A = this chain, B = another copy of it.
Amino acid sequence: MSIPLTLVLGGARSGKSRYAEGLVTAGPAPWVYVATAQAFDDEMVARIARHRADRADGWQTVEAPLDLAGALDAAPAGATVLVDCLTLWLTNLMLGEHGITAAIEALEAALDRRAAPVVLVANEVGLGIVPDNALARAFRDEAGRLNQRLAARAGRVLFLAAGLPLTLK
């Protein structure tokens, strides 16, 4: 496995999406933006529109709330792919009662099939107090495990705070 895989971790509004975009656009186009966000409500519609407006020209945007593996396979062979973000994808899987383990394995297999760089964005959600409700606890456990698993595969892992990176790997 020699894929140049980068994982960009960070909290809400830590600048992780913008930083990840900068990593991608520092290399040659084409660039494919794989958005996992689903616009359930006005708040999400506004957030998605703001993110899209913030991106530079030259991006192809693909929406993949569930089938990340399919989106990676469908991207042009030489394109650099940015997945933003894994944590929303996990949310979508859990809310839809899709199988998480199979989906993660399919994602990993798709990552193995890519030769061009991939940048994954994920939220760190485990640094607050223990949530009151069991679903939130289960979610942060799954999110933490997913981050660990992809960090182990990645060649480069960054932790973003206030728009600035700390290098984990």
A residues near B (Cβ < 8 Å) are 7, 9-15, 43, 124-131, 134, 136-137, 139-141, 143-145, 147-148, 150-152, 157, 159, 161-166, 168-169
A145 partner, pick from B13, B145, B148, B168, beta carbons under 8 A: B13
| B126→A136 contact, CB < 8 A | no
- Which of A43, A129, A163 counts the most B-chain CB atoms under 10 A from its CB? A129
Partner of A7, one of B144, B148, B162: B162
B151 with A140: CB separation less than 8 A: no
User: Which residues of the partner chain B approach A125 to less than 8 Å between Cβ atoms?
Assistant: 11, 127-130
- Copies in the assembly, this chain: 3
Please tell me which one of the listed residues B124, B137, B152, B165 contacts residue A11 in the complex, with CB atoms under 8 A apart. B124
A-B contact pairs, 11 of them (CB 8 A): A7-B162, A11-B124, A11-B126, A12-B140, A13-B141, A13-B144, A14-B144, A15-B148, A125-B130, A162-B168, A166-B166
Smallest CB gap from A164: residue in B: B168
Which residues of the partner chain B approach A162 to less than 8 Å between Cβ atoms? Answer: 7, 9, 124, 144, 147-148, 150-151, 157, 168
Give the CA-CA distance A162 to B123 in the complex, in Å.
Answer: 10
Q: Name the one of B139, B157, B159 contacting A129, with C-beta atoms under 8 angstroms.
A: B139
- Cα distance, A113 to B162, chains bound together (Å): 23
Contacts of A152 in B (CB 8 A): 163
C-alpha gap A9/B10 in the complex (Å): 14
A129 to chain B: which residues have CB within 8 Å?
125, 128, 131, 136, 139-140
